């Protein structure tokens, strides 16, 4: 069974669906919105619903679920998100901002939702990032990837269960020519400064 799941995860691609639901089922997983920003910056916003969720009964349970929801795989190590820095935590009711459209609530299931989002922002040193759910995790994770440099591209999502690993996700590296340009610019400035300094010295010597 987990077999097929692996294939699915590998195959998981863009999904064109309808609105997102959260009652009963939908709220059972954490929604992880991954935004790939320019210059290798990554924003990960993970949202838990404790409004009508049989797996997360209250705010304390939601905060607990967000403490270590998923890990980053770096070589053979699983890195907790807490290693990336302190998370920013916010409370809201806005599912539409934090989960793909396919998961909006059915209008016949009008239960109240109470959402908490933990956000981590970091600059990746790796060209790709891989998420992994340690075995034994209770909460599934819907990983939803947005590329801020290609806003029109359809979002991609995959559902990760305990023991699952995401496919490698390429981050938005700084273009090679920008670093060369920066280096060239810096070099030019140094040369220019050196020129003016030497020119001033020469003028002073002549004056003396």
Site for another protein in 62-91 (CB under 8 A): 91
Q: Which of 68, 97, 109, 128 binds another protein (CB under 8 A)?
A: 109
Q: What kind and span of H or E run contains 147?
A: strand 141-147
Q: Which of 75, 77, 86, 108 binds another protein (CB under 8 A)?
A: 108
For residues 158 and 171, which CB has a smaller minimum distance to another protein in the complex?
158
Q: Which residues contact 189 (CB under 8 A, 6 or more apart)?
A: none
CA distance 30 to 115: 10
Q: Is residue 15 part of the contact set for another protein (CB under 8 A)?
A: yes
Q: Which of 37, 40, 43, 55 binds another protein (CB under 8 A)?
A: 55
Judge whether 141 and 160 are in contact, CB under 8 Å: yes
Give per-residue burial for 56-69: e unless 16+ CB within 10 Å, then b.
beeeeebeebbeeb
Q: Which of 19, 43, 132, 169 binds another protein (CB under 8 A)?
A: 19
CA distance 99 to 11: 20
Q: Is residue 43 part of the contact set for another protein (CB under 8 A)?
A: no
Window 122-151: contact mask with another protein (x via CB under 8 A): ----------------x-x-----------
CA angle 138, 68, 4 (to 5 degrees): 45
Binding site for another protein (CB under 8 A): 1-9, 11-13, 15-21, 23-26, 28-29, 52, 54-55, 57-60, 91-93, 101-104, 106-109, 112, 114, 138, 140, 158-159, 161-163, 165
């Amino acid at each position: 069974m987990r077999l097929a799941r692996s294939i699915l995860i590998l195959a998981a691609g863009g999904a064109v669906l309808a609105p997102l639901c959260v009652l009963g089922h939908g709220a059972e997983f954490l929604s992880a919105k991954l935004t790939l920003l320019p210059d290798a910056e990554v924003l990960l916003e993970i949202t838990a619903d404790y409004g009508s969720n049989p797996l997360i009964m209250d705010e304390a349970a939601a905060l607990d679920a967000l403490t270590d929801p998923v890990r980053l795989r770096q070589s053979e190590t699983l890195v907790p998100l807490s290693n990336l820095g302190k998370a920013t935590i916010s409370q809201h009711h806005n599912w539409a901002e934090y989960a793909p459209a396919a998961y909006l609530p059915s209008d016949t299931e009008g239960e109240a939702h109470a959402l908490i989002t933990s956000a981590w922002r970091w600059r990746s040193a790796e060209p790709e990032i891989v998420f992994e759910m340690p075995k034994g995790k209770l909460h599934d994770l819907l990983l939803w990837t947005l590329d801020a440099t290609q806003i029109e591209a359809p979002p991609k999502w995959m559902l990760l269960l305990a023991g699952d690993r995401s496919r490698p996700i390429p981050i938005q590296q700084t273009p090679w020519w920008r670093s060369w340009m920066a280096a060239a610019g810096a070099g030019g400035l140094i040369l220019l400064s050196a020129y003016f300094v030497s020119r001033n010295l020469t003028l002073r010597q002549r004056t003396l």
